[in-house]
Structure 1
């Protein structure tokens, strides 16, 4: 009886092991980081790459407005109805819950219904610009997995920028520009994501697709993550293996979809007309009923679970790794340099586990110097010659390693991780010709700045210069003709003069 039970359990375990190996979950998400398999050495652990499942990331963010008093209702004010901009008897009042429009209504469950929304103050200070920055922070690196969608209840802005940060809001990079007239607003030719290719997938574009005025059926502005995925995986994302292969082998492609913060810069509200109606400025404001952001914690393919505890996201690291992003080996597991997991070989991936240090398994290194396990003297520990710019301290930790500052790596913290360059320590790249490429023929100089071709300017040479002596740059040929909005205004004025004349 005993032996038959053992045989039955062994058979059951073999079946489960086979099932785990042959029925993995969808490409890119691994439910487990290891499984027991039979080998010549008996039953052993087989490690594989893993990552958390994609989820709604708005549940974990913090929102901040700049200027902080941009939400309507601190002083009760009237505003015009969404469908009828001349019916201006609606009221915003922060002291009355039914009339308040705070920022959390951009993310509440009822926000899927446009009856609840955040709303800004009106454009009562026209002609001063009505500009609001909405900063979304996770205090954690996350990887975007689906389109960002922002639903407006006020008409979509005529001018807006979506920006990203990879260093918790210290520096910002443009993700995409939005305008009713890209050339007039940002000195950029309008493009669509569908215009991008394998070689230009990281380009920063300005699109005119989402910046119309009042339109009941057109409320959403998107940042098209899936369309960029489709460049590698096909129109219906049917070839995800190709995408994951590119993410593994194309330097910095994954970093393009990685953020710690997002910032929505609202620069000009929808006017719905050629001229701003100065007699009805309560028509103009921003209102957002919903923001959708799907992604996952970045765990470097070393964790399949990300927990939210004490208002903070963190990876539950496997493979003998540790840190918020599983970005380093655990103590006594530094037998080889840390490396992120790999999507290859698909579908299980390669774990790249951290191995035990020589000292932790009791084998002394072939060197006349004492090993860490044999007990470094205090002099040998506080004397590792840690780089003063790259290290948090000038002496070693108890492990015999230097404690590196953000972006630094190496035994003495004198080298930089990808995405950083050395300048009295490791500084985030402004440009590197791959992750943040200089646009319009610009050349990246020492990762610190883009040297732009003559007609262009901006951090990444993304804008055309306006030179007075050339008559401005309001047209695509730079010859000083009027912009689209100016052209409409002149046409209307000419029509009025002709009617007067006749």
Structure 2
């Protein structure tokens, strides 16, 4: 009876290995946030870095067009084929479902016949530029994991710019320029992604690969090559993802390069074919997009392995005592160590950098701050002082038995901070004026202001 089970397990393992080889982006343990392990003290949780699986992000976006009346069909219009000006049997009518071409058709299920697509008005006002901005917004920070692919039904644009935003559309930076002639259109030397190196990966280039020549019938796609950039670190087949994850972990600008909140497609000049613009038949020139692919994952700062779409909004299901849409802060009462992004290192499980129970308060310059702290119950860090990276002994203090700071003369408190005294009977008022707390730190002979770390309720078990 065991043989069928063994064969099933073998098949499952083989499938997993096969998937890992063909989908290296899923490599690692980052889809798991914790596991149980046995320690000398018994069963405990072992926390690790984690991130959501990559998915089709077009399911969660909002699209906006500028100008808003650029979509064809109001009033109805007849179009001619680019390659044959006498074939004018394509009609666009917004009032008729079968003849309408609204923006949402850029993201519907591909495979329908005939193909569905969004379409702009024709170039009626030539030579005034026919320009369209298509903005894709997620209201959430996401990380790109695969190429951005646009499929055009009208011929690929002769000039186009792909832009990104990291602040929800307030500011924009270019991702890549596209043109039949980069020097003429953008005063940039033409390059391809193959010209990039590890050092120049973040360079913004102009490419002619997707615009030059009258070849739109053979290839309708325009790409922003994410995987080719990954391959500069992970190898041609992305077999060395450890190297890529290591670079993303240690190079902030690199991680930010693949991070967005919004994308903007700026269509600057439509396809005109092999000849000059035919001013007597401007219905040949327009934009039409049948599909946009954006593959990525929610950015959760390596503190969540799932992301949910609820009430029209994406949000990380945060682990590690973190919270927020991107898991970018510690939960209430979990400030025993400062929040930090998770780490891919060490490979393969990374470092969770969990938020710990407790509070760390920074000393304020406002006199009201210290008064509030006197009235506020301070939660002690639930870790041994000397083992907490945020609370290690300072100013020459020594750590006794891995749990208690022994301060040098003239220093006091959890952090071994200098006692705020200028001399006998004189107290330093740098913290918050001369509010008397009726404590006598080392070296003081009168009521004097203590470092905030010394203001711990005597009934609590903090080391002072």
Q: TM-score, normalised by structure 1?
A: 0.67
Matched, 1:335 2:336: yes
Alpha-carbon distance, 1:345 to partner: 1.3
Partners in 2 of 1:187 and 1:315 — Cα distance? 42
Structure 2 match to 1:370: 374
Structure 2 match to 1:421: none
Q: Secondary structure at the match of 2:146?
A: coil
Matched, 1:253 2:288: no
Q: Secondary structure at the match of 2:125?
A: coil
Q: Are the counterparts in 2 of residues 359 and 372 from structure 1 also a CA contact under 8 Å?
A: no
Specify whether residues 304 and 111 from structure 1 end up closer, same or farther in structure 2 by C-alpha distance, changes over 3 A only. same
Specify whether residues 114 and 227 from structure 1 end up closer, same or farther in structure 2 by C-alpha distance, changes over 3 A only. farther
Alpha-carbon distance, 1:336 to partner: 1.3
1:481-496 residue pairs with structure 2 within 5 A?
none
Matched, 1:306 2:310: no
Partners in 1 of 2:297 and 2:305 — Cα distance? 10
1:160-179 residue pairs with structure 2 within 5 A?
160-179=160-179
Matched, 1:110 2:116: no
Partners in 1 of 2:299 and 2:269 — Cα distance? 34
Q: Which moved more, 1:41-50 or 1:25-34?
A: 25-34
Structure 1 match to 2:209: 209
Q: Secondary structure at the match of 1:217?
A: coil
Q: Are the counterparts in 2 of residues 31 and 304 from structure 1 also a CA contact under 8 Å?
A: yes
Partners in 2 of 1:78 and 1:219 — Cα distance? 22
Alpha-carbon distance, 1:88 to partner: 1.4
1:42-441 residue pairs with structure 2 within 5 A?
42-81=42-81, 84-110=84-110, 115-212=115-212, 213=214, 215-358=216-359, 370=374, 372-373=376-377
1:446-465 residue pairs with structure 2 within 5 A?
none
Partners in 1 of 2:238 and 2:309 — Cα distance? 30
Alpha-carbon distance, 1:370 to partner: 3.2
Partners in 1 of 2:195 and 2:81 — Cα distance? 37
Alpha-carbon distance, 1:371 to partner: 7.2
**Runs of 5+ consecutive residues of structure 2 not aligned to the other structure:** 1-12, 21-25, 362-369, 380-464
Q: How many residues align?
A: 349
Q: Secondary structure at the match of 2:252?
A: coil
Question: RMSD across aligned C-alpha pairs, in angstroms?
Answer: 2.3
Specify whether residues 83 and 98 from structure 1 end up closer, same or farther in structure 2 by C-alpha distance, changes over 3 A only. farther
Partners in 2 of 1:46 and 1:371 — Cα distance? 37
Partners in 2 of 1:271 and 1:174 — Cα distance? 24
Partners in 1 of 2:218 and 2:33 — Cα distance? 45
Specify whether residues 243 and 216 from structure 1 end up closer, same or farther in structure 2 by C-alpha distance, changes over 3 A only. same
Q: Secondary structure at the match of 2:46?
A: strand
Matched, 1:36 2:36: yes
Specify whether residues 281 and 359 from structure 1 end up closer, same or farther in structure 2 by C-alpha distance, changes over 3 A only. closer
Alpha-carbon distance, 1:279 to partner: 1.1
Q: Are the counterparts in 2 of residues 28 and 244 from structure 1 also a CA contact under 8 Å?
A: no
Specify whether residues 257 and 374 from structure 1 end up closer, same or farther in structure 2 by C-alpha distance, changes over 3 A only. closer
Q: What whole-Å deviation, never above 9, does each CA across 1:197-234 have from its counterpart, x for those lacking one?
A: 11100000000000134521110000000000000000
Q: Secondary structure at the match of 1:252?
A: helix
Q: Are the counterparts in 1 of residues 82 and 272 from structure 2 also a CA contact under 8 Å?
A: no
Q: Secondary structure at the match of 2:229?
A: helix
Q: Are the counterparts in 1 of residues 37 and 43 from structure 2 also a CA contact under 8 Å?
A: yes
Partners in 1 of 2:82 and 2:306 — Cα distance? 43
Q: TM-score, normalised by structure 2?
A: 0.72
Partners in 2 of 1:39 and 1:217 — Cα distance? 62
Partners in 2 of 1:313 and 1:104 — Cα distance? 19
Q: Secondary structure at the match of 1:178?
A: strand
Alpha-carbon distance, 1:81 to partner: 3.0
Q: What whole-Å deviation, never above 9, does each CA across 1:294-341 have from its counterpart, x for those lacking one?
A: 000000000001000000000000000001100000111011111000
Q: Are the counterparts in 2 of residues 29 and 53 from structure 1 also a CA contact under 8 Å?
A: no
Partners in 2 of 1:287 and 1:64 — Cα distance? 15
Alpha-carbon distance, 1:372 to partner: 3.5
Q: What whole-Å deviation, never above 9, does each CA across 1:103-126 have from its counterpart, x for those lacking one?
A: 010000036766110000000110
Partners in 1 of 2:207 and 2:29 — Cα distance? 32
Alpha-carbon distance, 1:146 to partner: 0.1
Partners in 2 of 1:95 and 1:255 — Cα distance? 43
Q: Are the counterparts in 1 of residues 29 and 349 from structure 2 also a CA contact under 8 Å?
A: no
Q: What whole-Å deviation, never above 9, does each CA across 1:355-408 have from its counterpart, x for those lacking one?
A: 111489xxxxxx996373269xxxxxxxxxxxxxxxxxxxxxxxxxxxxxxxxx
Q: Secondary structure at the match of 2:138?
A: strand
Alpha-carbon distance, 1:31 to partner: 2.7
